[in-house]
Structure 1
Amino acid sequence: MKLLGLSGSLVGWKTNVAVHNVLTAAKDLDSNIETELLDLRDYEVEFMNGDPLAYYNEDTWNVVNKVTSADLLVIGTPIFQASISGALKNLFDHLPVDAFKGKVTGMVTNGAIDKHFLVSEYQLKPILTYLKALVPTTSIFIHEDAFNDVNEIIDKEVSMRIKMLSEEMLFLQKCLDSK
């Protein structure tokens, strides 16, 4: 089983760290799971203009294929102006409508304003369900105060929620796979 962590930020490291922590927690729960962190800052995903995927550059093609070939995913994004990152939305626009069918897809967001936890439920979750994802009941919003100066998560409650999300994701995916 392959768990892909997607960091949908082009700036800063908090989103990357948060997604990496979910991947590590999942690996701690099941040492047989294969994990990979895909950080959008490492790729030049072209802006979606409506053309078929074959018309885009190799990075765009590779990122879309990594996302669609994963067995389950955790998607992380910073919250800017009460919205997911533009880079992540652009990637979603490249995906087929059933990209996440039969895949558990967890959500991890981070930001500076407490109310931005609502973005997961009211913006990101509808996009994921449109793409046919099974979204766990546990989602994580990490306020910037939960990180120290070197972007490590120092809030024990956040670490506990990361473990809970990993447990729920693996449980749900194993249930789906056993059908």
Structure 2
Amino acid sequence: MATVNAPKLVVVSAGLSRPSSTRLLADRLAAATARGLGEGGAEVRVVELRDLATEIAHNLVTGFPGAALREALDAVAGADGVIAVTPIFTASYSGLFKSFFDVLDNDALTGKPVLIAATGGTGRHSLALEHAVRPLFAYLRAVVVPTAVYAATDDWGSGGDAHTGELPARIDRAAGELTALLARRPAVPRQAEAVVPFAEQLAALRG
């Protein structure tokens, strides 16, 4: 259970099916990160983009988010760290995944630790994380952890568990990198900046 001062971790999952390997990977990464933070854990919020697809499309057309989408966007903006997981289609992130980050405020991820991950049918698509997903978050000025996690269909057992081998180790390594960044970024309530009257600003400059 997360404590009051636990870091706020938002997990963005762009899986389309239920259950989905994308959500499964997202949950494994969130659990590993929370474990790494110790007794306090993390305050984890999962954003399922599948449930927001209609509102995302409307926002792209009208410029105004619906209530559920607004809540999700605010959660990402207010998070201490983000785990972003997308299925890979045609050697890149999904359109739904990209559309969500298109409607997110341009400054919402500035300086924020982000762990990127993806799922796909075969290991041949793993480089999409470096060629497409990482540049997206670099453009948004996020601090992307060095280790990206890709899971192909063969990486999962019949029971939905990761095989022993490289995937669990990679999950732990990436989660450890995110944990290290979160540990240096204590969770504190974000407060609106005080508005200083122009006369006071001018007086301060003169003084």
TM-score clears 0.5:
yes
Q: Which amino acid aligns with 2:95?
A: G
| Partner of residue 20, structure 1 | 27
1:50 Cα offset (Å): 5.5
Q: Which amino acid aligns with 1:92?
A: F
**Are 1:5 and 2:15 counterparts?**
no
CA distance in 2, matches of 1:2, 1:147: 28
- Aligned pairs for 1:6-85 (under 5 A) are 6-12=12-18, 13-30=20-37, 31-32=39-40, 33-43=42-52, 44-47=54-57, 48-49=59-60, 51-52=62-63, 55-85=64-94
- Aligned pairs for 1:1-179 (under 5 A) are 1-12=7-18, 13-30=20-37, 31-32=39-40, 33-43=42-52, 44-47=54-57, 48-49=59-60, 51-52=62-63, 55-176=64-185
38-47 or 162-171, which deviates more: 38-47
1:149 Cα offset (Å): 2.8
Task: Count residues in correspondence.
Answer: 176
Structure 2, unaligned stretches of length 5 or more? 1-6, 188-207
Q: Which amino acid aligns with 2:127?
A: L
Q: Secondary structure at the match of 1:105?
A: strand
CA distance in 2, matches of 1:177, 1:101: 16
CA distance in 2, matches of 1:45, 1:151: 30
1:128 Cα offset (Å): 0.6
1:62 Cα offset (Å): 1.5
CA distance in 2, matches of 1:42, 1:97: 23
Asked whether the 8 Å contact 1:75–1:108 carries over to 2, the reply is: yes
Identity %: 26
Q: TM-score, normalised by structure 2?
A: 0.78
Q: Which amino acid aligns with 1:151?
A: G
Q: Which amino acid aligns with 1:14?
A: S
CA distance in 2, matches of 1:87, 1:113: 21
CA distance in 1, matches of 2:61, 2:116: 26
Asked whether the 8 Å contact 2:122–2:154 carries over to 1, the reply is: no
Q: Secondary structure at the match of 1:102?
A: coil
CA distance in 2, matches of 1:50, 1:71: 30
CA distance in 2, matches of 1:42, 1:49: 16
Q: Which amino acid aligns with 1:60?
A: L
For the aligned residues, what is the CA RMSD? 1.9
Asked which structure has the greater CA Rg, the reply is 2
Structure 1, unaligned stretches of length 5 or more? none
Q: TM-score, normalised by structure 1?
A: 0.89
